A and B are shown apart, each in its own frame.
Chain A
Amino acid sequence: MTEQTLKPNDILTKAEALRGTLSTSFRDEIVKSLYNEAENIARRAVKTAQDKKYDFDQKIDRLITSPIVGLPIMLILLGVVIWLTVSGANVASEVIADLLFGIGDWGRALFNQIGIPWWITGFIWDGVYLSLAWVVSVMLPPMAIFFPAFTFLEDLGYLPRVAFNLDWLFKKAGAHGKQSLTMAMGFGCNAAGVVATRVIDSPRERLIAILTNNFVPCNGRFPTLIMLATVFVAASFPPALTSFIAAGTVVGVVLIGIAFTFLMSWLLSRTLLKGEASAFTLELPPYRRPNIARILYTSIIDRTIFVLWRAMQTAAPAGAIIWILANITVGDSNLARLIADWLNPFGLLLGLDGVILLAYIIAIPANEIVVPTMMMVYMGAGMMIDGPGTSAGIYSLLVDGNGWTILTAVNLMLFALLHNPCATTIITIYKETKSLKWATVSVVITLGTAFLVTFLTASIARLMGWV
């Protein structure tokens, strides 16, 4: 037999020669025969009863993708999940904060008792530990509620339908329909949203999803938005309506963020990330009963703990820096105050002030500590604090004591929505894209947008004489 005497090289040459004789669609034929074989096996092994479940699924599908019912369902579900997260987290946050701050007080007392110098005690307990405690107590509860709720909808089979419903809009912006899912994930945490973009297989569209994820506010930014909405917007309404007006304001800010997501996706797909919409294929799985154990596992271990751990790594050094800035004094004011005064002209130009900018610079590891840092500088305290307990107290501190106007409040909301990603998210973007360039771009475009928008609103407000 001649075949037996063939050497490997001869076989390769022969294969090379034969390749030219293949029809162009031979790959299609291979896949087709694989599928035929699989179908044969399935036909023998699987019995399908023409079931009612199929009809039921179809009815639900028709309903949630219909124009009249589908869109409201999406908005209501989004509202419910956010409301659950915010209100449920409030209680849990307080419990955790009491516990952790209690440990802090105990540690401080212990250190004082055994005669450790005040600056070591302060650095460790009022700086590093306080920042960690703050981040954990503010960050953990909302994530522990949001992520299971999100995973529940995902497991149920509802989320792919959302991507299906909204794909047309994303297509117009040159992006991928699955970006709606990563965007929704961003409400829980932008870093988790960035990781979630792995479901988008086109690199170009995935980058768009990564770079614009920060325009939806994560729940670390909700406290800032809620505080401002309660103190400045809702205060002029009857007390009974306060919480609704505050919630409505936050929803309005969220919608502005979504508008910016589309706008920036559209701009990116026409400039930096040029290209046409690529292959969009999306499987709409049958509805199934969610598996609670798996939901808890993936949402708590994979998402919550993962994000929390990264946040804690960056929050500890930030706490140290915040404490140092607040406790080194030059003349009769501390470093924080001096830097804030130096930043003030630029802050005022943007309709903000120096303290806000300082808070955003040193609180880059986690947005949760922006408000306590601001309060610390405004009240001249030596560590991060909660501020006055009532909204009237906060109002008089900010407006009467520190020259805030309604413009400051509005622009801070816009800045909180649009500014650069937190350090955790930036690191995640770097790890996901493996590129310093795209991590930098993500900071430049968000910060640029934030500066531009706040500068414009401030200038317009001043020109029209509103403030």
Chain B
Amino acid sequence: MSLWGWLLVLLVVGIFIPRYGFLALYRDWRSAREREQVEDALKHLLDREQSGRHASPESLAGTLDLPRVKVTHLIADMESQGLLETRGAQLHLTAEGERWAIHVVRAHRLWERYLVDEARMPLNQVHSEAQRREHFFTDAQLDHLDAALGHPTVDPHGDPIPTREGKMASVKSLPITAWHSEGPVRIVHIEDEPAIAYEQILAAGLRLGQVIRIIERTPQRLVLSDGETEYRLAPTVAANVSITPLPESEIARANAVPLATLTQDQRGEIVSLDDAVQGFTRRRFLDLGLTPGTVIYPELGNFFGDPRAYRVRGTLIALRKDQAAQIWVKPV
């Protein structure tokens, strides 16, 4: 056989060999893509149902960014699998569809928690990363992740993480635009869609778990304050921030200041670690003895101004400014 003959044989084998051939790989890739699409569709339906609206083929096409023809195929496909029912123009999840959808939501939120706490990825990048990782996990694998993370109840945006059985703890919250008193409130959720509003909220410096008050309210803007900084947001953007009123016991803590604001040798008693600090960083802080009730003071500055070294329990520990800002102290 000539050289070309051999090459032809090689090519044919490369395409058709089971499992590792080009065709087999392509088929795997296709079915993976299809499954991702199904799961994304399920999530959309669940999201709509939880907010009391109904999904339609149009809303699905918009969310998945697919042409109508493909969406029609997808819907027919999912209906035949018993995942959804169409009633007129409305799409409804079946019990089986809902079970699967909640499973994907659980995977997504557990991954977000992992990415923020353990991989320490910036908050504005975790959504897209979790979007890629949420598929192809079994319940048992998720249980493993859940246990490794210490059974978290909410994701980094404040959304509840479903249990394996599909139960979701409901957080009583309302958009900050619907809060009409002067009292302090806690940010329990920052909606990450639309992304533009989310970026604006993060850029303003608001974060999950922060305690704030509304100090000015006009139709054009909302001025919030955490006692240190003032945050200005347009009401349409602010509507993406959900809050819950602060329990009486925690109002006392709202008087605390971040450790970073203490001056040289000014003593403070640690009130708590910020709720935004979880996972690795929180464990590290606790290991160093930065527990509630401990007295701490800045002892050593630096010629760049950052980091500073703090005396705690007789040890000198250097912390960067942004970390010292996550430790709440009461000056004593």
Contact = CB atoms under 8 A, between A and B. Distances in A.
B292 A28 contact: yes
Contacts, number: 109
The 6 nearest A-B residue pairs measured at CB: A168-B304, A67-B303, A32-B291, A284-B316, A279-B281, A282-B318
A202 B121 CA distance: 11
Interface in B280-330: 280-282, 284-289, 291-294, 299-307, 309, 313, 315-320, 322-323
Given A27-B286, A164-B309, A281-B288, A276 B302 contact: no
Contacts of B281: 278-279
Contacts of A177: 307, 318
Contacts of A165: 302-303
A171 B288 CA distance: 21
A66 B272 CA distance: 32
5 contacts: A28-B282, A167-B304, A171-B320, A282-B318, A284-B309
A238 interface: no
B286 A164 contact: no
A32 B303 contact: no
B320 A277 contact: yes
B122 interface: yes
Nearest to A275: B121
A19 interface: yes
Nearest to A69: B303
Interface in A232-286: 274-286
B282 to A, nearest CB: 8
Interface stretch (A57-65, A111-119, A353-361, A425-433): A57-65
Interface of B: 120-122, 125, 150-151, 153, 169, 272-273, 275, 280-282, 284-289, 291-294, 299-307, 309, 313, 315-320, 322-323
A171 B125 CA distance: 20
B323 A281 contact: yes
Q: Which of B122, B272, B280, B303 has its CB near the most chain A CB atoms (within 10 A)?
A: B303
Contact of A32 (B292, B299, B320, B323): B292
Q: In the complex, which of the residues B169, B309, B322 has the most CB atoms of chain A within 10 Å of its own CB atom? A: B309
Contacts of B125: 274
Contacts of A277: 320, 322
B318 A35 contact: no
Given A66-B303, A168-B307, A28 B273 contact: yes
Nearest to A54: B314
Contacts of A284: 300, 309, 316-318
Contacts of A66: 303
Contacts of A61: 299-300, 309, 316
Given A279-B281, A281-B317, A58 B323 contact: no
Given A67-B303, A277-B320, 5 more contacts: A27-B282, A62-B300, A275-B120, A276-B122, A280-B320
Nearest to A39: B313
Contacts of B302: 65, 164-165, 167-168
Contacts of A32: 291-293
Contacts of B272: 25, 28
A279 B322 CA distance: 9
A66 B316 CA distance: 17
B307 A167 contact: yes
Contacts of B319: 280-281
Nearest to A169: B304
Interface centre among B319, B320, B323 (most CB of A within 10 A): B320
B122 A275 contact: yes
A5 interface: no
Interface string A146-173: 0000000000000000001101110100
Contacts of B285: 279, 281
A70 interface: yes
A70 B302 CA distance: 10
Contacts of B322: 277
A20 interface: yes
A24 interface: yes
A66 B294 CA distance: 28
Given A28-B272, A168-B302, A278-B281, A283 B291 contact: no
Contacts of A58: 299
B259 to A, nearest CB: 13
B277 to A, nearest CB: 9
Interface in A1-56: 19-20, 24-25, 27-28, 31-32, 35, 39
Given A31-B286, A65-B300, A19 B151 contact: yes
A269 to B, nearest CB: 12
Contacts of A167: 302, 304, 306-307, 318, 320
A444 interface: no
Contacts of A279: 120, 280-281, 284-285, 323
Nearest to A277: B320
A349 interface: no
A71 B302 CA distance: 11
Nearest to A71: B303
A375 B114 CA distance: 56
Contacts of B307: 164, 167-168, 177, 280, 282
B160 to A, nearest CB: 11
A435 B150 CA distance: 29
Contacts of A20: 153, 169
Among A24, A165, A281, the most chain B Cβ lie within 10 Å of the Cβ of: A281
A67 B306 CA distance: 13
A280 B151 contact: no
A48 B148 CA distance: 40
Contacts of B120: 202, 204, 275-276, 278-279
A43 to B, nearest CB: 12
Contacts of B320: 167, 171, 277, 280
A35 B289 contact: yes
Contacts of A286: 316
Contact of A168 (B169, B306, B317): B306
Contacts of B315: 283
A209 to B, nearest CB: 16
Nearest to A25: B272
B288 A31 contact: no
Contacts of A24: 153, 275
Contacts of B289: 35
A31 B306 CA distance: 28
A280 B321 CA distance: 10
Nearest to A32: B291
A282 B317 contact: yes
Contacts of A65: 300-303
Contacts of B303: 65-67, 70-71, 165
A177 B306 CA distance: 11
Contacts of A71: 303
